[in-house]
Structure 1
Amino acid sequence: MRHQEVIANPFLMLTQPDSILAAVERSERLGHLKRRVCRPLDRPLIPKINQAELSAYDDAIDSEVEADLPDEEQA
């Protein structure tokens, strides 16, 4: 009867996570599933950026913002 209570109570994992994880590890049905580890974010494809170009772009943006500010805010 106790085993059936464990299965029927979905909130048991909140109070007794160890017992749920142990039941999952003992499960034959879960043990027969094919397992595959997918790690798509191990190597993110980030394009290489030329630092000189990036600095020039940042300086251009900063100079545009400074030009738009009134004289007392530039200091």
Structure 2
Amino acid sequence: MTTLTSAANPFALLLDPQTVLASIERSERLVRLHSRICRPLDKPLLPAGGKAQATKAFDREIDDDVSDDLN
């Protein structure tokens, strides 16, 4: 009877992790889920090092040329 009460109350499940794990293992819906590996999207787009420095220098040259053209 305690298992039924704790399974019906999600806050009681926080106090009993073994019941949660047992429920997960018995769940048919979770067994049918397809899993996939997701890669993080927050990786830097520009490589660090020499190429990044060269890109910044090129950007500065372009900005300087544009500001010279405006004056």
| TM-score after normalising by structure 2 | 0.50
| TM-score after normalising by structure 1 | 0.48
Higher relative contact order (CA 8 A, sep 6+): 2
